Structure 1
């Protein structure tokens, strides 16, 4: 692999979760396509993008800063999940599945951050 981030498990997991979010938002009603759907997708994508950006050619403090950004984006996804559930556009099963997956991802990103 050519880039450091491609070997990171947290990056790989964030890519998988972003794809799951993308599948979920395809079922959102049309009035949410440019509101909550775009917000949650951007946040999900941002997790992976910040991990990648921080890992390549950056100092350790800079990488830690970008890992912090990725955690913030993951928290934003969780908040969007709550909004979608409250608006009755995300069901309990999808909510729980993604909620716990992002909880796990956040813990893994924080563990990586603490280990470097």
Structure 2
């Protein structure tokens, strides 16, 4: 069976997978009281949504749809950083981990913008 998962060839998708993996590892070690499960679940959902939307968009039929999914992925990236900012403000994650997550998110956002621009020009 030959399956073509072309999204796996996208560097931005690979980075988004690594981003999600790191974010999930942070969520598993949050220094938080146990009554904040909904926030943690939302954080995990948002961070994994980035790569999932890139993949789903790549599987769509048109460039316009792909671009729309890239914008959704970017929104999920922003959502992840918003939650991480709250976690950081509450001292649930360290400065170092927050900065690493934010820097990676900035790089992925830049890559996403570059991909959107490239698709628009093609």
Q: TM-score range by the shorter chain?
A: over 0.9
Matched ranges for 1:51-90 at <5 A? 51-90=54-93
Distance (whole Å) between structure 2 residues aligned to residue 31 and residue 87 of structure 1: 14
Provide the secondary structure at the position in 1 that maps to 2:35: helix
Q: Counterpart of 2:103?
A: 100
Distance (whole Å) between structure 2 residues aligned to residue 59 and residue 2 of structure 1: 17
RMSD value over aligned CA atoms?
1.1
Instruction: Give unpaired runs (5+ residues) of structure 1.
Output: none
TM-score (norm 1): 0.94
Q: Counterpart of 2:27?
A: 25
Distance (whole Å) between structure 1 residues aligned to residue 114 and residue 62 of structure 2: 18
Higher Rg: 2
* Aligned length, in residue pairs: 115
Distance (whole Å) between structure 2 residues aligned to residue 58 and residue 89 of structure 1: 42
Q: Which aligned runs of 4 or more in structure 1 are off by greater than 4 angstroms? A: none
Give, in angstroms, the shift of residue 2 of structure 1: 2.1
Give, in angstroms, the shift of residue 58 of structure 1: 2.2
